[in-house]
Amino acid sequence: MKITVLGGGLSPERDVSLKSASLIANALLSKGHEVALVDLYVGIENDRPAESFFRRGTVDLFKYDIPETEPDLEATIASHGGRRQWIGPRVIEMCQFADRVFLGLHGSYGENGEVQAVLDAYDIKYTGSGYLGCAIAMDKDVSKSLIAGAGYKTANWITDKAENIDFARIKAEIGLPCVIKPIGAGSSCGVSIVKEEKEFKEAIDYAASYHQLVLVESFIKGREITISILDGKALPITEIVPHEGFYDYKNKYQDGLTTHICPANIAEDDYKKGQRLAVEMFNTLRMSQYGRIDLMYDEEAHDFWFIEANNLPGMTNQSLLPEAAKVTGLGYEDLCEKLIRSLD
């Protein structure tokens, strides 16, 4: 098949996406497909025929390394003449020319449903959840509201404009420690854990720098786990143990800074309960094909707290879904092949 892999874009997770997309493209090359890797924002800035951008037969053709810090999106925009349209030239053409589109995107303009809605309008087949599931899962306020409304546990929270959130309100309504984050970013972009008042303003400003509403929630003490869902079934549970601090952008994508324990060492009854809850939450949020549910595990209470959902989870060599799939015997290349074939 001819497959266009979409990556990059104007998300704060641009670098992570380019890494995922490169690895996906290489995996599909190894399976004998013709592959074009296209940056959602940059697009194709010349008039060569679409056919000429599809590569075949060369494994590990695409490479990208993730820097330690988040990308400077304004510099990216400036390098392309100040263009702010988030779909680049000829992107739709490249998607229409392919048999399938593999979404290696992360973050805004990738996971919020907008790309999916555009592709639907052109009747283009793509991997991952549809536009509705993406829109719901990406908005942390909406997803928490639906999860809480369905009877599942999630931390107490408020969502508001940054200027309407002051420390006195948080101390009264949420308490300390608390977690502060933008409502529509992933990869821990904009996330801070606040333990005392002197950390508050910097955390609010950091979350507000993503130009979104800000969510503040109670800090849930427990073991951080994630459960990947593939074709309606839960994969083995992964426990996430950062060597220091919390599971922030650097700890997620730099080698050797976090330990992933898969399968997690959880009592059998709780293990099964966690997997069942993750699938139920996945369905509640109208997600489909594959994704990930992040939870906190309260070992003493034998219960789980919803943190957030990931509808296009990372596909890097540090990423959690490929690791969990590997435990079941499904290697990275076969996982990518399975996702593209399941669109038939």
**Range of weakest confidence among 167-181, 234-248, 295-309:** 234-248
283 falls within a domain: yes
Does some domain include residue 282? yes
Residues 245 and 143 in one domain: yes
Rounded mean pLDDT of 133-150?
97
Whether residues 179 and 232 share a domain: the answer is no
Residues 274 and 227 sit within 8 Å (Cβ to Cβ): yes
Same domain, 104 and 226: no
Give residue 190's pLDDT.
85
pLDDT of residue 244 exceeding 60 = no
In a domain, 12, yes or no: yes
Tell me which residue of 185, 157, 159, 192 sits closest to 173, measured CA to CA.
157
pLDDT of 268: 97
- Residue 256 in this model has a pLDDT that exceeds 90: no
**Residue 71, domain member (yes or no):** yes
Output the pLDDT for position 248.
44
Looking at residue 98, the DSSP 8-state letter turns out to be S
Counting Cα atoms < 13 Å in the Cβ hemisphere of 289 gives 23
The helix/strand/coil state of 287 is coil
Do 321 and 172 lie in one domain? The reply is no
Instruction: Judge if 119 and 97 occupy the same domain.
Output: yes
Banded model confidence at residue 249, pLDDT cuts 50, 70, 90: very low
Q: Does residue 146 share a domain with residue 76?
A: no
Please indicate, yes or no, whether residues 23 and 97 belong to a single structural domain of this protein.
yes
CATH of the domain at 229: 3.30.470.20
Share of the chain above pLDDT 90, in %: 82
- What does the DSSP 8-state code read for residue 10? S
- 25: tokens are 């493209």
Which of 168 and 187 is assigned the larger pLDDT? Answer: 168
- CA distances (Å), origin 70, targets 14, 118, 309, 319: 8, 27, 21, 17
CB 115 within 8 A of CB 103: yes
Q: How many domains does the chain have?
A: 3
* Pairwise CA distance, residues 1 & 4, whole Å: 10
Residue 121 lies in a domain: yes
Average pLDDT of 169-181? 94
- Do 84 and 209 belong to one domain? no
The answer on 185 and 112 residing in a single domain is: no
d(CA 273, CA 308): 18
Q: How far is CA 282 from CA 131, 142, 176, 189, 341, in A?
A: 14, 14, 29, 22, 21
Residue 187, pLDDT score: 57
In a domain, residue 91? The reply is: yes
- pLDDT tens-place string over residues 299-333: 999 999 999 999 999 898 778 999 999 999 999 99
Q: What's the CATH code of the domain at 87?
A: 3.40.50.20
Mean pLDDT confidence for 1-29: 94
Per-residue confidence (pLDDT) for residue 318, from 0 to 100:
75
Range of the domain at 258: 138-153+221-329
pLDDT over 80 (residue 186): no
Residue 200 predicted with pLDDT over 80: yes
Give the pLDDT of residue 255. Answer: 54
Cα torsion for 167, 154, 241, 13, to the nearest 10°? -70
Do 15 and 109 sit in the same domain of this protein?
yes
Give every CB contact of residue 19 below 8 A, 6+ residues apart in sequence: 64, 65, 66, 253, 316
pLDDT at 250: 46
Domain edge (last residue) among 218, 246, 266:
218
In a domain, 342, yes or no: no
Dihedral sign, Cα of residue 289, residue 290, residue 293, residue 297: positive
Q: Is residue 343 part of a domain?
A: no
Residue 252's pLDDT band (cuts 50, 70, 90): very low
Statement to judge: residues 184 and 226 lie in one domain: no
pLDDT band for 61, please (50, 70, 90 cuts): confident
**118-127, 175-184, 254-263: segment of lowest average pLDDT:** 254-263
Question: Given a cut of 70, is residue 164 above it in pLDDT?
Answer: yes
CB 37 within 8 A of CB 135: no
Q: Give 67's pLDDT tier (boundaries 50, 70, 90).
A: confident
Q: What pLDDT score does 130 carry?
A: 97
What percent of the chain lies above the pLDDT cut of 70? 95
The first and second tokens of residue 92, run together, are 């739709």
CB distance 275 to 237 below 8 Å: yes
User: What's the mean pLDDT in 190-210?
Assistant: 92
CATH number of the domain encompassing residue 176:
3.30.1490.20
Q: How confident is the model at residue 71, as a pLDDT?
A: 87
76-102 confidence digits (pLDDT tens): 999 999 999 999 999 999 999 999 999
Rounded CA separation 127/124 (Å)? 10
Quick one: 170 and 110 in the same domain? no
For the chain, give the mean pLDDT.
Answer: 92
